[in-house]
Structure 1
Amino acid sequence: MTKPAIHIGIAHYPGALLSAVQGLAEQFFLANRICRERGMGEIFQTIVFDSRQLGSDEDGRGEEDSGEGRLPDTLQVVILPPCLEDDAYLEPPPALLDWITRQHRGGAIVCSVCAGAFVLAQTGLLNGRRVTTHWALADAFAARFPQVRVDSGKLLINDTDIITAGGLMSWVDLGLELVAQFTDSQVMRQLGKYLIVDTGAREQSYYRSFTPKLDHGDEVIVGVQHQLQREFSQPLKVRDLAMQVHLTERTFLRRFVSATGLKPTHYIQRLRIQKACELIETSALAFERVAENVGYEDLSAFRKTFVRITGQTPREFKKRFVGIGPGQRNGTVTAEDGA
């Protein structure tokens, strides 16, 4: 049975990642091919439009990038692709923001990918919402939009009328999500197989690296951070760190959290797990040795902390980013099997 066409607008706004703009259009083109083969007809009508033309006409609707016609009065989906230029996604055209708001008011699902969330947040539509963006942009996003709840551990958050995707390449995941939503999971999986991409559940936390903030201006705390970078595997107590810089424990905690955004214990945990990830990726050390090298004597505690921060076990991390061959079953990862 043929379904009504779903009109999807992909905003080619200034600075938008061209590979995502065209890639999304081609993804829906391929989805349509699969739908036709299954007797479903063409589901997706994709429009790539130059957002700079919005507001250029009296009715403010703009034109398609191809110049072949106007945008429909209402779309079912609007997508804001990633952007690599901060001056572009921090200062989007006002006409684009107004147009996004009107489309959402008319019932469109509004989506963003990576830095596209900055554009979408400036419409006010994300206030009070839980969203994701690229993990490296999460702190800047949270500081700029405190009324929005950022969960950068998630690769994609579908909040019904608002869908946000985190990573620079997560436009692929967004496309698959929309295909599944407007067709069915079988079409989505078939598309994933054709594209040779993983359609299973993933999290952005799998790919996140810990990059401490060092440009906060508190030289005392920077000095402590440098010490932690050198001595991360040593037993460390907050009280001792505070005494070394001649601060009370309470004052030290306040300044450390203000500067880094993390409590000292959480900071050390993230630092140690980052070092553990680097060892897993670059060495053949057994699980026990990795834990010891980053300062953990309790394997169970290390595994729990690793899972909480990265969203996967050490063995799953190694399999995802390094691969585990038959010859590695004995000696390097055996302890992880039961951990």
Structure 2
Amino acid sequence: MSHRELDAAHITDPALRSAYLRCRRLNARHGRTYFLATRLLPAARRPAVHALYGFARWADDIVDDVGESAAPAQRAAALDRLETRLRQALDGDPAAGEPVVLAVSDTAARYAIAPIHFTDFLASMRSDLTVGAYATYDDLYTYMHGSAAVIGLQILPVLGTVGPQAEAAPYAAALGVAFQLTNFLRDVGEDLDRGRVYVPEDLLTAHGVDRDLLHWSRSTGRRDRRITAALRAAEAMTRAVYRQAAPGLPLLDPVARPCIRAAYVLYGGILDAIADDGYPVLHRRAAVSRRRRAAVAADGLARLTAARLTARRPGGGATPAAPAGARPIPTATARPTVPED
């Protein structure tokens, strides 16, 4: 099936095909929810999404998994090398580095993805090496612009839109933020072990929670009503961003909507699982059940079939994904707001 995707995307160079296949394996192994949603895209567009995911995963692994004893300076140097190789690849050097870099630079060229999105992403990855907490949501959003919003902006040209990409850009950025806030809530315990807390400090303080209390709960396995209240507020904050992103779904190419709708539902399902289980995220990771995942996938397939049939009718098509050489979408996006406590 993966070779069919490469054929559909007209990726014929053996080295490039191998690079894209590596990205696909990274996506399948580490991004199960994301990978399932990607299966609902037209085959020709899947390799690009795998490449973007693979690059993001590669950088994230440098930050978190390059040996537990690796100093921040060593990890920063590894990120610098990655950025240098990416810049060389974007400039047309085919020998710039790892297969993941080769694949993502090819995707960037095919879909005219603005290089600044990769620069901003790597800047946020570097901040993870030194920043372990965020005082307010505004502070957190500065980080998430690079780590999440630009991911939505990178993928938008691959998905395609029914109108100008600039109109859909703020919604794509907001959805990237919503997905990351969901991951933050799901991974509170794991992130705490790495020395990071992504729930804004002012939200925690409003409910009487500090880092010491989080560590106590993590180490003892005991829950605390103050922590539960803070996590419930973080869930509400995240759902507010989902609501802001939702109007962007109809702006996408109809054949791409089932993919993003599936991701929207599945990531929202993670929030449901967290809430239904009583917010035990300091002690275990919540997951969407297989039955739920299968139901969403079946619904997505039905929607995809309907969209393809509509697209085949005269006048039923939408604006295709941006070809290489198209004008990149703007980098400036509106910051998703969150409700006041």
Q: What's the TM-score once normalised by structure 1's chain length?
A: 0.31
Rg: which structure is higher?
Answer: 1
Higher strand share: 1
Q: What's the TM-score once normalised by structure 2's chain length?
A: 0.31
Higher helix share: 2
Q: Could you say which structure has the greater relative contact order, defined with CA pairs below 8 angstroms and 6 or more residues apart?
A: 2
